[in-house]
A = this chain, B = another copy of it.
Amino acid sequence: MSVEVRLVEVGKVTIGGGEPVIIAGPCSVEGLDMLRAVAAAAVEAEVSILRGGTYKPRTSPYSFQGLGLEGLQLLGQVGREFGLPVVSEVVAVEQVDTALEYLDMIQVGARNMHNFPLLSALGGVDRPVLLKRGFMATVEEWLMAAEYIVKEGNDRVVLCERGIRTFEHWTRNTLDISAVPLARMLGGYPVIVDPCHASGRRDLLEPLALAGLAAGADGIMLEVHPDPDKALSDGGQSLSIPGLVELAGKLKRVSTN
C-alpha cells in the first residue's frame, strides 16, 4: 500500500516525497550555547529541520513559559548558522507576524488544534504549517482543523500525530499509530510522528519511531537536549546528543532499506 500525499517544501527540505525527514531540537530554547550544541548534533545526524519551543503553553501558569521573542531570534540565528530550516510553535494570532520573520515552518500545538482564529490566520500566510493533533481530537476533527487552514488559501499543511489521551498511565499519552495511515489516506497530507510527547519515555522512542516509519509516516520529530536531566521542560522524554545521533542513524538505515 503506497499512498501519495501532497509534497510540502520547508526551505530546501521536501516532506512527503518518500524519504522520511527528521525534525529535532530542544523542547524549549534555553539559550544560545545549548541551541548551537543541538544544531551541531543535528547536522551530524543528518536531521532535516531544527525545532525549538519558544512560546510554551504549560498546564500551570507557574511553570517555565519559554523565552518568547528572544527564543525565536535565537532559533532563527542558529538555523542560519547551521543551514537548517527551523520550526517553532505560535499560540496566538498576534505572534504570527513576528514568527514569519524567523521561522521556515510554523507549528500549531495540540492545545491549539481547536483555536480556529489561529488556524484561519495561518491559512493566510505564505509558510508551511505543522499541525499537531489535539490529544482529545478524533482524526476527523484533526482533518477538519487542517481544512480551516487550507480554506484560507494555504495548503502547505503537514500533520503531526503526538498521542491521544487514554486511560493507560504507563505512557504520557497513547500513540495512535492507526492515525498515520488514516490521515495520509483520507486527508492526503504528509504525517510526522512525535514519539516523545506520545510516550513521555526515553526508552520507547526508538520502537515508536520505527513503528511510525513502518506505518508510512513521512518523518519523525524528536526532542533533544545536551543534558536532558537538567532540561527546563520534558527532560524525561528527550534524547541526549549521542542518543540523537544513534537513533537518527537507525532511522536512516531503515528508511533507505
Contacts and interface: CB of A to CB of B under 8 A. Distances in A.
A1 B166 contact: no
A211 interface: yes
Contacts of A60: 144, 147
Nearest to A93: B92
Nearest to A139: B170
B207 A61 contact: no
Interface string A179-218: 1111001000000000000110001101110111111100
Interface stretch (A24-32, A37-45, A113-121): A113-121
Interface of A: 1, 57-62, 91-94, 111-112, 114-118, 120, 134-136, 138-141, 144, 147-148, 151, 164-171, 174-182, 185, 198-199, 203-204, 206-208, 210-216, 254, 257
Contact of A169 (B114, B169, B180, B185): B169
B175 A164 contact: no
B91 A117 contact: yes
A164 B171 contact: no
Contact of A138 (B134, B169, B254): B169
Contact of A167 (B111, B136, B148, B182): B136
